[in-house]
Amino acid sequence: MGDKISPEANSGRDGRAKRANQTGEGTQEEAKHIEVGMVVEADEGDLGQEDISEAKVTDIVHDPAGNVETIVAEKGTIFRKQLEIPVERIQSVAQNTGGGESDGSPGKVIIAASEKEVEALASFGPEALPPEGLTEPTDEDDLLDLTVKALPTDVGLRRREEETGPDRGTSPQETDKPHGTLDPGETRERGKTSERDGSSDAAAGDDDTGNIFQVLGPGLLSGMAGNDASAVASYSLDGAQNGYGHLWLMLLSTPLLQAVQFACAKIGRVQQKGLAEILREHHGRKVAVPAALLLIVANIALIAADLVAISTGLELITGVRWAWFAAPVALGLWYITVYQNFDAIKKIFLTMSLVFVAYIITAFVSKPEWGTVLTNTVVPHVDVGFASISTAVALLGATISPYTIFWQVQGEKEEKRSGSITRKFRLAAIDMAVGVISGNLIAYFIIVSTAATLFTKHQQIHTALDAAQALEPLVGPFAKYLFALGLIGAGLIAIPVLLASASYGVAGTIGWPSGLSKKPWQNEGFYLILTAGLAVSLLLALIGLDPVHLMFWANVLQGVLSPVLVVLLVVIGNSRGIMGKNTLGLVTNVGLVVAAVVMFGASVLLFYGLATGQGGG
């Protein structure tokens, strides 16, 4: 929905316009002191002054009378932006006398430019600021718009960042406290926090009836579309190799994932910072750097796997070998993520990824033995053989991964939720529960379908075409095309998310500004990290590994690395110095501990199998 402009905002903009249009002797007198090399900053907007490079004056243009007419500023080394600034915009000029700043610049120029005006600037190329301010556009969100926001996507987070900004979307109590924490008193006894069980709290005093369907609609769709392409491959392999034997893990992982997601959301809501920033500020770089490295390794593996998955999907459709598609797909996704918002295209990809809902129908059409299915769902079946353990670790890694942990903290920080802090926690719990259940439901039926169609016939998955056969009972010879569309859509959604979450982790650890809502020239460091991550992932994708094996082992890696981050969630979430009185409750803590123990245990068995030579086959 479009935001209404308050009278105060109008008066502020009018004031800026008046100041910007004062072109008398005072302004010219200030302009005379401008020198090439001076740093340029905006009074309200962000020209990237906290980034690895600053905007600086590169040229001064004079009119025939010798008066300063415009100044030309340039920002960025790789992602360059040139900005022509009329003299009317100049607010002040401060020369560097050598006693203060040591950056070598001759001084600083402050210009009049609002946040909205800077946001409206293009991502690259020369551009001129107009002499007057801009008005805010209005927008309406349809269901797919809301889903894009709810789904872990680069567009969703970018739009939430744009809507909330640094000081919007949270109450003053949430943003003005030391270290970014909430005032513990904000949880005043309106009713006990629902966090203890991650469920709704009817006694909290806030009515959610009016927006429950806003939560359920996008949450349901985002959960169904939220399994990335490599995860689908891992679930398919699990069903084909182990039959119904790991269905109980899907049931177990559902509340565990809910606990992880809710802990991330609560930490993000209370701290109003990303996980990397929290680790750096409260535990130092000795903890933040290893955590960021875990994220980088995990994400690069998944990005490579998803690049291969998209390319494999294109191979199924065209018959052209997948390796020819990897580089063009990577380049296209890089351009879209860095330079475009591409909401309309994202909706198409979202719709494509929803084809995996077909597995639910296929599970019934393929007529599995439902008694066996239900028994394996509720009765744990532990097989310590290497094949079973490795697929179990991949299944857990596809469900609880490092990128979802970092992404959820960042996403909740940007999410706009109304009402008291108790109500915000409750809405987050509902939002996540819907997505977790629907997403795991899709994964569950992928396993059931592949078990019923491939495992029962002793067929193994060696290629994407083998995996697509699980859909044949539903669509016959069109199965490979349906499966290909799903792989392509899910992969195209996932890769920008994986790139962005890795960039958030690294930038937050170093202390660089980060955010998809900023242009590449504003947050050059963030986008350079993103670019480097994609380049490394492309190289990994092209080294000649078997596509199905790459997708599978990428998720095994997630399962090995994720429990380390889950332990960090326990430490952060129970620290009163970080969370105040909003520490994690008993049930959430139990869920986190069980998740860590199960994943650590499975990883130990995996490494034991590798050490004893069981994985050599």
Which whole number is the average pLDDT over 190-215? Answer: 43
Question: Which residue bears the tokens 């719990």?
Answer: 429
Strand order in the sheet with 68-75: 90-95, 107-111, 39-42, 56-62, 68-75, 81-86, 125-128
Which tens digits make up the pLDDT trace of 229-274? 889 999 999 999 999 999 999 999 999 999 998 999 899 999 988 8
For residue 547, is pLDDT > 70? Answer: yes
487-532 pLDDT, tens digit each = 888 888 888 888 888 898 899 899 898 877 788 999 999 999 999 9
Percent residues over pLDDT 70 in the chain: 77
> pTM of the prediction?
0.78
As beta bridge partners, residue 40 has 109
Q: What is the CATH number of domain 162-181+196-584?
A: 1.20.1740.10
Helices (H), 511-546: 524-541
Instruction: Name the pLDDT band for 147 (thresholds 50, 70, 90).
Output: low
Tens-place pLDDT, residues 280-338: 999 998 999 999 999 999 999 999 999 999 999 999 999 999 999 999 999 999 998 88
Return the beta strands (E) in 304-359 as ranges: none
Q: CB of 115 within 8 A of CB of 3?
A: no
For 336-345, which contacts have Cβ atoms below 8 Å and span 24 or more sequence positions? 336/496, 337/154, 337/495, 337/496, 337/499, 337/500, 337/530, 338/79, 338/123, 338/520, 338/527, 338/530, 338/531, 339/123, 339/124, 339/520, 341/155, 341/158, 342/155, 343/145, 343/148, 343/155, 343/159
CA distance 184 to 181: 8
Answer whether 350's CB lies under 8 Å from 489's CB. yes
Which band of pLDDT confidence, cut at 50, 70 and 90, is reported for residue 168?
A: very low
For the chain, domain boundaries = 7-128, 162-181+196-584
Distance between alpha carbon 522 and the CA centroid of its chain, in Å?
Answer: 19
